Amino acid sequence: MTIFDDWRARSPFYDDTHTAVADSVRAFVAREVAPHIDAWEEARALPRELHRKAAAAGILGLGYPEEYGGYSAGFDIFHSLTQSEELAAVGAGGLTASLMTHGIGLPPILALGTDAMKRRIAPPVLAGDAIIALGITEAGGGSDVAALTTRAERRGDRYVVNGGKMFITSGMRADYVTTAVRTGEPGTGGISLLLIETDRPGVSRTPLEKMGWHCSDTAALHFDDVEVPAENLIGVENGGFAGIMRNFNGERLGMAHSCCAFARVCLAEAAAWATTRETFGKRLAQHQSIRIKLADMARQIAATQAWVDLCAWQVKTGQGRPADFAMLKVQATRMLESVAREAAQVLGGASYLKGSKVERIYREVRVNAIGGGSEEIMLDLAGRQLGYS
Protein backbone atom coordinates (compact mmCIF):
# COMPACT_ATOMS: atom_id res chain seq x y z
CA MET A 1 0.00 0.00 0.00
CA THR A 2 1.38 3.42 -0.98
CA ILE A 3 0.97 6.79 0.66
CA PHE A 4 -2.05 7.43 -1.57
CA ASP A 5 -3.90 4.13 -1.22
CA ASP A 6 -5.13 4.54 2.33
CA TRP A 7 -7.16 7.65 1.58
CA ARG A 8 -8.73 6.15 -1.53
CA ALA A 9 -9.61 2.92 0.27
CA ARG A 10 -11.69 4.85 2.79
CA SER A 11 -13.29 7.37 0.42
CA PRO A 12 -16.74 7.01 -1.20
CA PHE A 13 -15.43 8.52 -4.43
CA TYR A 14 -12.96 5.76 -5.32
CA ASP A 15 -13.45 2.08 -6.17
CA ASP A 16 -11.55 -0.82 -7.71
CA THR A 17 -11.34 0.89 -11.10
CA HIS A 18 -9.41 3.76 -9.54
CA THR A 19 -7.11 1.27 -7.85
CA ALA A 20 -6.45 -0.30 -11.24
CA VAL A 21 -5.46 3.09 -12.66
CA ALA A 22 -3.20 3.68 -9.66
CA ASP A 23 -1.47 0.32 -10.11
CA SER A 24 -0.91 0.94 -13.83
CA VAL A 25 0.51 4.46 -13.40
CA ARG A 26 2.60 3.38 -10.42
CA ALA A 27 4.24 0.69 -12.51
CA PHE A 28 4.92 3.21 -15.29
CA VAL A 29 6.50 5.67 -12.86
CA ALA A 30 8.70 2.98 -11.30
CA ARG A 31 9.85 1.76 -14.70
CA GLU A 32 10.10 4.89 -16.84
CA VAL A 33 10.37 7.87 -14.48
CA ALA A 34 11.90 7.19 -11.08
CA PRO A 35 15.29 5.95 -12.38
CA HIS A 36 15.72 9.07 -14.53
CA ILE A 37 14.01 11.96 -12.76
CA ASP A 38 17.18 13.37 -11.19
CA ALA A 39 18.94 13.39 -14.57
CA TRP A 40 15.96 15.12 -16.16
CA GLU A 41 16.00 17.71 -13.41
CA GLU A 42 19.63 18.43 -14.23
CA ALA A 43 18.89 18.49 -17.97
CA ARG A 44 16.07 21.00 -17.38
CA ALA A 45 13.70 19.11 -19.69
CA LEU A 46 11.86 15.85 -20.24
CA PRO A 47 12.75 13.69 -23.25
CA ARG A 48 10.12 13.73 -25.98
CA GLU A 49 10.16 9.94 -25.96
CA LEU A 50 8.62 10.02 -22.48
CA HIS A 51 5.46 11.53 -23.98
CA ARG A 52 5.18 8.63 -26.42
CA LYS A 53 5.74 6.09 -23.66
CA ALA A 54 3.13 7.80 -21.47
CA ALA A 55 0.69 7.74 -24.38
CA ALA A 56 1.29 4.03 -24.93
CA ALA A 57 0.64 3.44 -21.22
CA GLY A 58 -2.72 5.21 -21.50
CA ILE A 59 -1.64 8.17 -19.37
CA LEU A 60 -1.87 11.04 -21.87
CA GLY A 61 -5.27 10.02 -23.18
CA LEU A 62 -7.06 9.37 -19.89
CA GLY A 63 -10.33 11.30 -19.88
CA TYR A 64 -10.12 12.40 -23.53
CA PRO A 65 -12.49 11.42 -26.35
CA GLU A 66 -11.98 7.99 -27.87
CA GLU A 67 -12.32 9.37 -31.40
CA TYR A 68 -9.05 11.27 -31.00
CA GLY A 69 -7.11 8.47 -29.34
CA GLY A 70 -8.18 9.04 -25.75
CA TYR A 71 -9.88 6.88 -23.14
CA SER A 72 -13.11 8.26 -21.74
CA ALA A 73 -15.66 5.44 -21.53
CA GLY A 74 -15.98 4.32 -17.93
CA PHE A 75 -13.60 6.95 -16.57
CA ASP A 76 -14.46 9.94 -14.39
CA ILE A 77 -12.62 12.88 -12.88
CA PHE A 78 -11.48 10.76 -9.94
CA HIS A 79 -9.51 8.51 -12.28
CA SER A 80 -7.64 11.60 -13.45
CA LEU A 81 -6.99 12.64 -9.84
CA THR A 82 -5.68 9.16 -9.09
CA GLN A 83 -3.32 9.34 -12.04
CA SER A 84 -2.06 12.76 -10.91
CA GLU A 85 -1.30 11.39 -7.43
CA GLU A 86 0.80 8.54 -8.72
CA LEU A 87 2.80 10.85 -11.01
CA ALA A 88 3.58 12.97 -7.94
CA ALA A 89 5.23 10.08 -6.10
CA VAL A 90 8.72 10.98 -7.37
CA GLY A 91 8.39 14.41 -5.75
CA ALA A 92 9.04 16.48 -8.88
CA GLY A 93 6.30 18.92 -9.83
CA GLY A 94 7.89 19.61 -13.17
CA LEU A 95 7.11 16.06 -14.30
CA THR A 96 3.35 16.50 -14.20
CA ALA A 97 3.52 20.13 -15.31
CA SER A 98 5.39 19.33 -18.53
CA LEU A 99 4.35 15.76 -19.33
CA MET A 100 0.69 16.68 -18.89
CA THR A 101 0.86 20.17 -20.38
CA HIS A 102 -1.74 19.11 -22.94
CA GLY A 103 -4.15 19.20 -19.99
CA ILE A 104 -4.26 22.98 -20.30
CA GLY A 105 -3.37 23.40 -23.97
CA LEU A 106 -5.79 20.93 -25.56
CA PRO A 107 -9.14 21.49 -23.74
CA PRO A 108 -9.88 24.87 -25.41
CA ILE A 109 -9.48 23.20 -28.81
CA LEU A 110 -11.74 20.30 -27.88
CA ALA A 111 -14.34 22.67 -26.42
CA LEU A 112 -14.29 25.47 -28.99
CA GLY A 113 -12.28 24.38 -32.04
CA THR A 114 -13.63 23.22 -35.37
CA ASP A 115 -13.93 19.52 -36.14
CA ALA A 116 -11.06 19.86 -38.61
CA MET A 117 -8.83 21.43 -35.95
CA LYS A 118 -9.68 18.73 -33.41
CA ARG A 119 -8.86 15.97 -35.92
CA ARG A 120 -5.59 17.66 -36.88
CA ILE A 121 -4.29 18.48 -33.40
CA ALA A 122 -5.72 16.09 -30.81
CA PRO A 123 -4.56 12.69 -32.18
CA PRO A 124 -0.82 13.50 -32.41
CA VAL A 125 -0.90 15.22 -29.02
CA LEU A 126 -2.62 12.30 -27.30
CA ALA A 127 -0.22 9.89 -29.04
CA GLY A 128 2.76 11.78 -27.60
CA ASP A 129 4.01 12.71 -31.07
CA ALA A 130 3.32 16.43 -30.60
CA ILE A 131 3.45 18.73 -27.58
CA ILE A 132 0.96 21.52 -26.99
CA ALA A 133 1.33 24.39 -24.51
CA LEU A 134 -0.92 27.19 -23.29
CA GLY A 135 0.18 30.77 -23.88
CA ILE A 136 -1.76 33.22 -21.70
CA THR A 137 0.57 35.03 -19.30
CA GLU A 138 2.57 38.07 -20.40
CA ALA A 139 5.51 39.77 -18.75
CA GLY A 140 3.57 42.93 -18.05
CA GLY A 141 0.25 41.41 -17.02
CA GLY A 142 0.72 38.35 -14.83
CA SER A 143 -2.67 37.16 -13.59
CA ASP A 144 -4.44 40.14 -15.22
CA VAL A 145 -5.57 38.31 -18.36
CA ALA A 146 -7.79 41.19 -19.44
CA ALA A 147 -4.71 43.39 -19.83
CA LEU A 148 -2.88 41.20 -22.36
CA THR A 149 -1.34 43.07 -25.27
CA THR A 150 -0.18 40.42 -27.76
CA ARG A 151 -2.09 41.45 -30.86
CA ALA A 152 -3.37 39.43 -33.79
CA GLU A 153 -4.43 41.59 -36.74
CA ARG A 154 -6.71 40.04 -39.35
CA ARG A 155 -5.35 40.46 -42.86
CA GLY A 156 -7.43 38.61 -45.41
CA ASP A 157 -7.27 34.87 -44.76
CA ARG A 158 -4.71 35.10 -41.96
CA TYR A 159 -3.79 36.79 -38.71
CA VAL A 160 -0.49 38.56 -38.13
CA VAL A 161 0.67 38.19 -34.54
CA ASN A 162 3.03 40.47 -32.64
CA GLY A 163 3.92 40.38 -28.96
CA GLY A 164 5.08 37.80 -26.48
CA LYS A 165 4.22 35.39 -23.70
CA MET A 166 6.05 34.68 -20.45
CA PHE A 167 6.44 31.67 -18.10
CA ILE A 168 5.11 29.21 -20.68
CA THR A 169 5.31 25.61 -19.47
CA SER A 170 6.77 23.29 -22.16
CA GLY A 171 7.41 26.43 -24.18
CA MET A 172 10.80 25.30 -25.45
CA ARG A 173 9.56 21.95 -26.74
CA ALA A 174 5.99 22.78 -27.75
CA ASP A 175 4.91 22.20 -31.34
CA TYR A 176 1.66 24.12 -30.80
CA VAL A 177 0.68 26.92 -28.46
CA THR A 178 -2.95 27.71 -27.65
CA THR A 179 -2.42 31.46 -27.47
CA ALA A 180 -4.50 34.29 -26.07
CA VAL A 181 -4.31 37.30 -28.39
CA ARG A 182 -6.00 40.65 -28.65
CA THR A 183 -8.15 40.95 -31.75
CA GLY A 184 -10.44 43.71 -30.53
CA GLU A 185 -10.73 46.56 -28.08
CA PRO A 186 -9.11 46.65 -24.59
CA GLY A 187 -10.65 44.45 -21.93
CA THR A 188 -12.04 40.94 -21.85
CA GLY A 189 -14.30 41.45 -24.86
CA GLY A 190 -11.40 41.86 -27.27
CA ILE A 191 -9.57 38.60 -26.58
CA SER A 192 -9.42 35.59 -28.89
CA LEU A 193 -7.71 32.20 -28.79
CA LEU A 194 -5.40 31.31 -31.66
CA LEU A 195 -3.47 28.12 -32.32
CA ILE A 196 0.11 29.00 -33.25
CA GLU A 197 2.57 26.44 -34.62
CA THR A 198 6.00 27.15 -33.19
CA ASP A 199 7.82 26.41 -36.45
CA ARG A 200 6.26 29.44 -38.13
CA PRO A 201 8.63 32.25 -39.22
CA GLY A 202 8.78 34.96 -36.60
CA VAL A 203 8.34 32.66 -33.60
CA SER A 204 11.29 32.57 -31.22
CA ARG A 205 11.71 31.40 -27.66
CA THR A 206 14.05 31.94 -24.75
CA PRO A 207 14.54 29.36 -21.96
CA LEU A 208 13.91 30.54 -18.41
CA GLU A 209 15.82 29.27 -15.38
CA LYS A 210 13.61 28.70 -12.33
CA MET A 211 13.70 27.98 -8.62
CA GLY A 212 11.93 24.66 -9.11
CA TRP A 213 10.08 22.51 -11.65
CA HIS A 214 13.50 22.05 -13.24
CA CYS A 215 12.58 19.12 -15.49
CA SER A 216 9.78 21.22 -16.95
CA ASP A 217 11.13 23.48 -19.69
CA THR A 218 9.75 27.00 -19.39
CA ALA A 219 10.07 29.74 -21.98
CA ALA A 220 9.45 33.29 -22.98
CA LEU A 221 7.80 33.27 -26.41
CA HIS A 222 8.24 36.05 -28.94
CA PHE A 223 6.01 36.72 -31.98
CA ASP A 224 7.38 39.00 -34.67
CA ASP A 225 4.93 39.37 -37.59
CA VAL A 226 3.94 35.72 -37.30
CA GLU A 227 1.41 34.80 -39.97
CA VAL A 228 -1.25 32.33 -38.83
CA PRO A 229 -4.11 31.00 -41.02
CA ALA A 230 -7.54 32.26 -40.04
CA GLU A 231 -8.73 28.67 -39.58
CA ASN A 232 -6.41 28.48 -36.56
CA LEU A 233 -8.87 30.67 -34.65
CA ILE A 234 -10.24 28.68 -31.70
CA GLY A 235 -13.91 29.52 -31.30
CA VAL A 236 -15.20 32.92 -32.37
CA GLU A 237 -13.21 36.11 -32.68
CA ASN A 238 -13.25 38.20 -29.50
CA GLY A 239 -14.85 35.29 -27.64
CA GLY A 240 -11.76 33.76 -26.12
CA PHE A 241 -12.01 35.04 -22.56
CA ALA A 242 -14.80 32.65 -21.58
CA GLY A 243 -12.73 29.73 -22.85
CA ILE A 244 -9.74 30.89 -20.82
CA MET A 245 -11.79 31.16 -17.64
CA ARG A 246 -13.34 27.75 -18.23
CA ASN A 247 -9.86 26.29 -18.54
CA PHE A 248 -8.70 27.92 -15.32
CA ASN A 249 -11.28 26.13 -13.17
CA GLY A 250 -9.95 22.70 -14.13
CA GLU A 251 -6.37 23.85 -13.80
CA ARG A 252 -6.97 25.14 -10.27
CA LEU A 253 -8.65 21.94 -9.15
CA GLY A 254 -5.78 19.94 -10.61
CA MET A 255 -3.19 22.10 -8.89
CA ALA A 256 -4.99 21.78 -5.55
CA HIS A 257 -5.04 18.01 -5.85
CA SER A 258 -1.35 17.95 -6.78
CA CYS A 259 -0.60 19.98 -3.66
CA CYS A 260 -2.26 17.26 -1.58
CA ALA A 261 -0.23 14.59 -3.35
CA PHE A 262 3.09 16.38 -2.87
CA ALA A 263 2.23 17.10 0.75
CA ARG A 264 1.70 13.35 1.27
CA VAL A 265 5.13 12.73 -0.25
CA CYS A 266 6.63 15.22 2.23
CA LEU A 267 4.83 13.59 5.15
CA ALA A 268 5.92 10.11 4.10
CA GLU A 269 9.58 11.13 3.81
CA ALA A 270 9.47 12.98 7.12
CA ALA A 271 7.81 10.03 8.87
CA ALA A 272 10.34 7.57 7.45
CA TRP A 273 13.18 9.80 8.65
CA ALA A 274 11.63 10.23 12.09
CA THR A 275 11.29 6.48 12.63
CA THR A 276 14.94 5.76 11.81
CA ARG A 277 16.89 8.85 12.88
CA GLU A 278 18.04 8.86 16.50
CA THR A 279 18.64 11.95 18.65
CA PHE A 280 19.33 12.16 22.36
CA GLY A 281 19.18 8.41 22.73
CA LYS A 282 15.86 7.71 21.00
CA ARG A 283 14.22 7.84 17.61
CA LEU A 284 12.88 11.21 16.49
CA ALA A 285 9.33 9.83 16.38
CA GLN A 286 9.57 9.07 20.08
CA HIS A 287 9.82 12.79 20.82
CA GLN A 288 6.36 14.23 21.50
CA SER A 289 7.06 17.40 19.54
CA ILE A 290 7.88 15.41 16.39
CA ARG A 291 4.77 13.23 16.69
CA ILE A 292 2.70 16.41 17.01
CA LYS A 293 4.29 17.81 13.85
CA LEU A 294 3.57 14.66 11.86
CA ALA A 295 0.00 14.40 13.10
CA ASP A 296 -0.66 18.05 12.32
CA MET A 297 0.71 17.58 8.81
CA ALA A 298 -1.68 14.65 8.33
CA ARG A 299 -4.56 16.76 9.65
CA GLN A 300 -3.94 19.55 7.15
CA ILE A 301 -3.64 17.14 4.23
CA ALA A 302 -6.82 15.25 5.09
CA ALA A 303 -8.88 18.42 5.47
CA THR A 304 -7.70 19.80 2.14
CA GLN A 305 -8.11 16.48 0.33
CA ALA A 306 -11.70 16.28 1.52
CA TRP A 307 -12.41 19.66 -0.07
CA VAL A 308 -10.63 18.64 -3.27
CA ASP A 309 -12.78 15.52 -3.53
CA LEU A 310 -15.94 17.51 -2.85
CA CYS A 311 -15.10 19.99 -5.60
CA ALA A 312 -14.27 17.11 -7.96
CA TRP A 313 -17.65 15.55 -7.21
CA GLN A 314 -19.30 18.91 -7.93
CA VAL A 315 -17.55 19.01 -11.31
CA LYS A 316 -18.70 15.46 -12.02
CA THR A 317 -22.31 16.37 -11.20
CA GLY A 318 -22.28 19.76 -12.91
CA GLN A 319 -22.36 21.79 -9.71
CA GLY A 320 -18.90 23.34 -9.81
CA ARG A 321 -18.56 26.98 -8.72
CA PRO A 322 -15.56 29.14 -9.73
CA ALA A 323 -15.33 30.73 -6.28
CA ASP A 324 -14.81 27.30 -4.72
CA PHE A 325 -11.97 26.42 -7.10
CA ALA A 326 -10.31 29.76 -6.36
CA MET A 327 -10.53 29.35 -2.59
CA LEU A 328 -9.54 25.70 -2.78
CA LYS A 329 -6.35 26.57 -4.64
CA VAL A 330 -5.37 29.01 -1.89
CA GLN A 331 -6.17 26.45 0.80
CA ALA A 332 -4.13 23.77 -0.93
CA THR A 333 -1.06 25.85 -1.65
CA ARG A 334 -0.95 27.22 1.88
CA MET A 335 -1.33 23.69 3.20
CA LEU A 336 1.55 22.49 1.02
CA GLU A 337 3.73 25.35 2.20
CA SER A 338 3.04 24.46 5.84
CA VAL A 339 3.56 20.72 5.37
CA ALA A 340 6.74 21.13 3.33
CA ARG A 341 8.15 23.47 5.96
CA GLU A 342 7.40 21.09 8.81
CA ALA A 343 8.80 18.15 6.86
CA ALA A 344 12.00 20.11 6.34
CA GLN A 345 12.15 20.78 10.08
CA VAL A 346 11.87 17.06 10.79
CA LEU A 347 14.64 16.21 8.31
CA GLY A 348 16.78 19.05 9.63
CA GLY A 349 20.01 19.64 7.71
CA ALA A 350 19.24 16.77 5.37
CA SER A 351 16.37 18.78 3.90
CA TYR A 352 18.79 21.48 2.77
CA LEU A 353 20.83 19.09 0.66
CA LYS A 354 19.85 17.92 -2.79
CA GLY A 355 18.70 14.35 -2.81
CA SER A 356 15.57 14.47 -0.70
CA LYS A 357 12.09 14.88 -2.14
CA VAL A 358 11.30 17.39 0.60
CA GLU A 359 14.08 19.68 -0.59
CA ARG A 360 12.72 19.65 -4.13
CA ILE A 361 9.08 20.06 -3.16
CA TYR A 362 9.88 22.90 -0.77
CA ARG A 363 11.47 24.82 -3.66
CA GLU A 364 8.34 24.27 -5.73
CA VAL A 365 5.83 25.66 -3.24
CA ARG A 366 5.84 29.15 -4.70
CA VAL A 367 5.04 28.14 -8.26
CA ASN A 368 1.87 26.50 -6.98
CA ALA A 369 0.92 29.59 -4.98
CA ILE A 370 1.46 31.92 -7.95
CA GLY A 371 0.76 29.88 -11.08
CA GLY A 372 -2.83 29.54 -12.26
CA GLY A 373 -3.75 32.68 -10.32
CA SER A 374 -1.98 34.13 -7.28
CA GLU A 375 -3.48 33.93 -3.79
CA GLU A 376 -4.51 37.56 -3.89
CA ILE A 377 -6.22 37.23 -7.27
CA MET A 378 -7.96 34.01 -6.19
CA LEU A 379 -9.35 35.43 -2.96
CA ASP A 380 -10.47 38.64 -4.65
CA LEU A 381 -12.20 36.60 -7.36
CA ALA A 382 -13.93 34.48 -4.74
CA GLY A 383 -14.95 37.53 -2.73
CA ARG A 384 -16.56 39.17 -5.74
CA GLN A 385 -18.35 36.00 -6.85
CA LEU A 386 -19.66 35.43 -3.32
CA GLY A 387 -21.15 38.92 -3.36
CA TYR A 388 -18.78 40.55 -0.90
CA SER A 389 -18.11 43.60 -3.08
pLDDT (tens digit per residue) in 173-216 = 999 999 999 999 999 999 999 999 999 999 999 999 999 999 99
Distance CA 148, CA 66 (A): 35
What domains are defined for the chain?
A: 5-126 (1.10.540.10), 132-238 (2.40.110.10), 242-385 (1.20.140.10)
The predicted pLDDT at position 47 comes to 97
Mean pLDDT for 379-384 is: 94
Dihedral (CA of 297, 6, 272, 23) sign: negative
Q: Percentage of the chain with pLDDT > 90? A: 88
Q: Percentage of the chain with pLDDT > 70? A: 99
Distance CA 341, CA 337 (A): 6
The predicted pLDDT at position 143 comes to 67
pLDDT (tens digit per residue) in 303-362 = 999 999 999 999 999 999 999 999 999 999 999 999 999 999 999 999 999 889 999 999
pLDDT (tens digit per residue) in 101-119 = 999 999 999 999 999 999 9
Distance CA 355, CA 351 (A): 8
Give the residue from 313, 342, 345, 318 showing the smallest Cα distance to 328. 313
Total Cβ atoms within 10 A of residue 199: 8
Query: What mean pLDDT is reported for the chain?
Result: 94
3-state secondary structure the chain: CCCCHHHHHCCCCCCHHHHHHHHHHHHHHHHHHCCCHHHHHHHCCCCHHHHHHHHHCCCCCECCCHHHCCECCCCCHHHHHHHHHHHHHHCCHHHHHHHCCHHHHCHHHHHHCCHHHHHHHHHHHHCCCCCEEEECCCCCCCCCHHHCCCEEEEECCEEEEEEEEEEEECCCCCCEEEEEEECCCCCHHHEEEEEEECCCCCEEEEECCCCCCCCCCEEEEEEEEEEEEHHHEECCCCCHHHHHHHHHHHHHHHHHHHHHHHHHHHHHHHHHHHCCCEECCEEHHHCHHHHHHHHHHHHHHHHHHHHHHHHHHHHHCCCCCHHHHHHHHHHHHHHHHHHHHHHHHHHHHHHHCECEHHHHHHHCHHHHHHCCCCHHHHHHHHHHHCCCC
Give the residue from 160, 133, 165 showing the smallest Cα distance to 148. 165
Is the pLDDT assigned to residue 72 strictly greater than 60? yes
The predicted pLDDT at position 168 comes to 97
The predicted pLDDT at position 1 comes to 54
The predicted pLDDT at position 234 comes to 97
Distance CA 315, CA 72 (A): 16
pTM of the model: 0.93
Distance CA 165, CA 221 (A): 5
Distance CA 169, CA 167 (A): 6
pLDDT (tens digit per residue) in 271-316 = 999 998 877 778 888 899 999 999 999 999 999 999 999 999 999 9
